[in-house]
Structure 1
């Protein structure tokens, strides 16, 4: 019996990305985006360190630099509170979404269903006026309109869930328009962004 050839590899079925690449491409892309996203934080940290060094090196500026550092710390804390509110605020509600290589399984307060990737014909990101007001009134909310077969389903609402769906679409729908999707996710205005299917 011959020994196994170490140069041979088993065939893997990998999820598709819009360019037809593999998971490795997605990971490299994510790493690049994370690096870019971290640049402001790194720059802010270096600025604070520089201010503290200046305050110690030149005592006449110590009070000024300390005040600036305290203001920066206050802004960072407020930003963190706002960010956590965006992540955990769940005004309407999708109770659970599970992403697989076959499709999207969802459970909401009114519905349970499954959307196969092979049946998806159109994906539109919609940002519009909320169906119900909160304590401060009506607000803009973001949802994904997914058309599959002769059906359609709105999913989203939560910031974290919208980004989870973004990555799922990007991996599993070959011609998914990630630029339009990101433009809609980052927008504060109302609008519609066609991300997959006929424009």
Structure 2
């Protein structure tokens, strides 16, 4: 294992996992090594709601951020890399970018040449992607920490008005800071994800 074991243990709380090999990738180019490692070792698959749809992926609690099963990742590029209706390639999407997850259609992007993970807002007219994490393992560790803090809070997570209790947000920030390398990086992470 290459350091994903504790992350995988945390992801088990969020949904069904199964190692997924590069043979499940449907893209026209080889699966980037960082992504191959993530799917082989963490394997976010999710549960099957409808048999004809298959597994739906894993959503990190408290973030609305979802990872698709590897077999469905290429089709999730629609609307970013190509027009979802016409199939026409969209000129403003860099060839080097691959959407690895999204939060309400805002993409988390693997910059394949560097391994960095970027985050951008959809519907802004152009893509202004900002650094979210230096690599996919760091992102997964931070998300595991956030999701774990959310799960640990249970029914106490929000107050009577439905607002996230500050102590639980602070716990998530502290947990993410350990993965991201400090409080400042964790605050920037949460600000970008609007959590």
Q: Same fold judged by TM-score > 0.5? A: no
TM range (shorter): under 0.3
TM score, norm. by length of structure 2: 0.26
More strand by share: 1
More helix by share: 1
Larger Cα Rg: Structure 1 or Structure 2?
Answer: 1
